[in-house]
């Protein structure tokens, strides 16, 4: 089997792992880590990979890593990056002889949530940028407005009404543009919750030879 995004999406175990992850994290009151986040991360990782000049296989691997990166959460939120990485290997090791692809993908998945991550592969960098930049109202699962407002995590995500990631391969700048409803959340709260994520993004962009800019409500903040 070739390691392509469409083959991976058709795998019944991957499908189930993502559904169960969604169920578990909903029960734990987390934001969306299910299908929506898998698709957004996968699409973004491929877009970044294309703009950063990856070869065709690396573009495909980036999409796959994006799609599968959080599927280990149903086992445990702690170390979910390792769980997902090992699950990916277990499911596809016997189905493919593309060991290079397999190795790059599991490394990227394992690296996506490590504070001390030292990036050594392109796919990891594309995945981190795609994953950590996914901050949006649509990720909030809670429907009760008063509960949303009382949890800083939900509130900040809920306040983000637009999120665009631009990768400019001429100026070599990755810009995350966020529209934040500051009647719901002061910009400082965004940093409280997402500073470490923005650092991940900066690190990943730099690995790919880009600068990282963060623009909130038309103000350039990073």
Q: How far apart are the C-alpha atoms of 30 and 36, rounded to whole Å?
A: 14
Contact status: 32 vs Fe ion (CB under 5 A): no
> Judged by CB, which is closer to Fe ion: 77, or 89?
77
- Residue 89 near residue 106, CB atoms below 8 Å: yes
| x/- map, 131-150, Fe ion, by CB under 5 A | x-------------------
> Judged by CB, which is closer to Fe ion: 82, or 184?
82
What residues from 45 to 84 belong to the interface with Fe ion (CB under 5 A)?
70
Q: How many residues bind Fe ion (CB under 5 A)?
A: 3
Shortest distance, position 7 Cβ to Fe ion, whole Å: 21
| x/- map, 79-118, Fe ion, by CB under 5 A | ----------------------------------x-----
- The burial class, CB within 10 Å (0-12 / 13-18 / 19+), for 34 is buried
Nearest to 29 by CA among 87, 79, 77, 67: 77
Shortest distance, position 58 Cβ to Fe ion, whole Å: 20
Q: In what order do the strands lie in the sheet with 173-180?
A: 160-168, 173-180, 211-216, 219-220
Q: In degrees, to the nearest 5, what angle opens at C-alpha 73 toward C-alphas 196 and 187?
A: 30
* Region near Fe ion per CB under 5 A, out of 130-138, 175-183, 203-211, 214-222: 130-138
Question: Around Cβ 10, how many Cβ atoms within 10 Å?
Answer: 10
- Residues across the chain: 222
> Judged by CB, which is closer to Fe ion: 58, or 131?
131
Binding region for Fe ion (CB under 5 A): 70, 113, 131
């Amino acid at each position: 089997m070739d390691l392509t995004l469409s083959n991976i999406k058709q795998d019944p175990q991957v499908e189930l792992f993502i559904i169960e992850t969604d169920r578990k994290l909903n029960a734990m009151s987390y934001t969306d880590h299910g299908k929506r986040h898998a698709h957004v991360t996968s699409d973004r990782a491929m877009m970044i990979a294309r703009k950063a000049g990856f070869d065709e296989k690396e573009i495909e691997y980036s999409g796959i890593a994006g799609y599968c990166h959080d599927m280990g959460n149903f086992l445990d939120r702690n170390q979910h990056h390792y769980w997902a990485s090992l699950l990916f290997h277990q499911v596809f090791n016997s189905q493919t002889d593309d060991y290079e692809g397999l190795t790059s993908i599991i490394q990227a998945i394992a690296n996506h949530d490590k504070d001390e991550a030292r990036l050594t592969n392109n796919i990891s960098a594309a995945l981190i940028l795609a994953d950590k930049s996914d901050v949006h109202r649509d990720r909030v699962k809670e429907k009760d407005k008063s509960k949303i407002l009382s949890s800083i995590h939900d509130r900040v995500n809920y306040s983000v009404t637009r999120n665009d990631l631009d990768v400019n391969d001429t100026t070599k700048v990755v810009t995350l543009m966020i529209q934040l409803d500051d009647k719901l959340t002061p910009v400082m709260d965004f940093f409280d919750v997402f500073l470490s994520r923005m650092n991940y993004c900066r690190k990943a962009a730099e690995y790919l030879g880009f600068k990282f800019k963060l623009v909130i409500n038309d103000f350039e903040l990073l």
